[in-house]
Amino acid sequence: MLKLRVTLTSKLTVVSSRPVSSDKVHALSALDRAMGCHSLHVIFYYKNEGNWFESFDLDPLRESLSEVLTLYPTVTGRLGRGEDGEWEVKCNDAGVRIIKATVDATLHEWLKSASGSEEKLLATWDDMPEDPTTWSPFRIQINSFQEGGVAIGVSCSHMMADLTFVASFFKSWSEFHRHFPITHSPLIAPLPTQVEVDSLPRGHATLPSSSPSTKASSLTNFATATFKFSDSTIKQCLYKVHDSCPNATPFDFLAALFWSRIARVKAPKPHDQTHSLCICTDFRSLLKPSLPIGYFGNALHFSTLSQKVKDVELGGIVSAVHRHLEGLSEEEIRASNEGKRVYGSELTCVCMEHLVVEEDHESLLYGAVFGNNEKPVHVSCRVGNVEGEGMIMVMPCSEGGLSRTVMVMVAEEELDELRKDEAIMELQADMVVAGCGMGH
């Protein structure tokens, strides 16, 4: 066995600097509860060149976290059952669990050599126990690398929040740390009733009464790898498909590329030659009035695109993805999605284009600056307990502009083929955190 390079050193709990009312509760929406089997893990990597991070125990970082938590009573709360038997957050200011760890590698060495299973150690997680009264649904892990690098892993039950909220919360922490105004104030309020009821996949009707941590384990041995595509590369790619899809986005192209290449390595279908891609998008901006970035909860819509992708010109697939997303509307979000599952049996592709600000192509994911104007050099995101055919996540990249990071989690044999796929390799992607499979 390989020696583990991540060593957990201590655990503590950080509470808000000003206590909240102990009788305040926040009911989770039906859409939130549908996420109950899943967890969310986001890791922000920093070089720490200005030594803004030294020791969390005595560091202003801990003080600023305690201060910002006063705005987020649901983050420091605990899950429990309401009078109607459904899950709710009891805002009892029980605090956020903090784990500290050291990494036996430099940040550069880690990003070049770590496997997906190793990276999971930077955001350790315990599934919810039967009695969740003392279980922290949010946890933060501070990982110190050799020669000064640091990675901050934020994990939570997906039933509590989505990636957009986690990114906004993390940025708020950094703004408190630098005594800056909060860009995205939290909105802790119920999801509009009609959206809550009608956008929920019907296959989850019984989930609210079951334990969120209960889920049959997948038989697939997944492996992960992360591909980083430069701004110039994506510009060239969009130019090549311009005739087929003149308004294509980086997501349209990359979703089509990886979908088609993964379909190519799958066993041929005897009759039906179509392949299905479940596309996960954020619907905050599609509602009227729109939900703010800081909305606490899940604002995700899952829709399926099915078509033939093998031996089909890439531009045509890009166009199909673009038309599918362009056709999404508030009406569709409010319509029932018969037979769908969140992160279900189909290959799921997560779109994070909404996290890119149009004016300067900056991303919320890379907006958290704690000291010395230093932005993250890489941000990793993972959803726990994904089954079926796996997941593709298309995220903004540290370079900015049209650059994108693509995290792929598929069967090991499929990932082995993707690593040497000519259509992907000719785009000269940098690979990070692309070591052994998760099962190794």
Q: Determine the average pLDDT of the residues in 127-150.
A: 94
**Mean of the per-residue pLDDT values of the chain:** 87
Window from 36-45, 100-109, 327-336, 401-410 with minimum mean pLDDT: 327-336
Both tokens assigned to 164: 């957009």
pLDDT of residue 165: 98
Residue appearing with tokens 């995101």: 381
Could you check whether 6-191 and 222-432 share the same CATH topology?
A: yes
Architecture of domain 6-191: 2-Layer Sandwich (3.30)
At 414 the pLDDT is: 93
The token duo for 18 is 């000003």
Does residue 35 have a pLDDT over 90? yes
- Give the mean pLDDT of 137-147: 95
Across the range 344-366, mean pLDDT stands at 85
341: pLDDT confidence band, cut at 50, 70 and 90?
Answer: low
331: left (phi over 0), alpha (psi -120 to 50) or beta: alpha
Q: Which fold has domain 222-432?
A: Chloramphenicol Acetyltransferase (3.30.559)
AA letter at 24: K
pLDDT confidence tier of residue 433, bands split at 50, 70 and 90: confident
Confidence of residue 358 (pLDDT cuts 50, 70, 90): low
In this prediction the pTM is 0.91
Residues 266-306 pLDDT 10s? 877 666 678 999 999 999 998 888 999 999 999 999 999 99
Higher pLDDT: 166 or 339? It is 166
pLDDT at res. 276: 92
Amino acid at 418: L
Q: pLDDT digits over 181-197, tens only?
A: 999 999 999 887 556 54
Segment 59-67 long-range contacts (CB within 8 Å, at least 24 positions apart): 60/177, 61/177, 61/370, 62/14, 63/17, 64/173, 64/176, 64/177, 65/14, 65/96, 65/140, 65/173, 65/176, 66/14, 66/15, 66/16, 66/17, 67/16, 67/17, 67/176
The SS3 assignment for 257 reads helix
Rounded CA-CA distance 92/76 in Å is: 7
Task: Please state the domain extents for the chain.
Answer: 6-191, 222-432
Of 155-169, 184-198, 230-244, 263-277, the range with the lowest mean pLDDT is 184-198
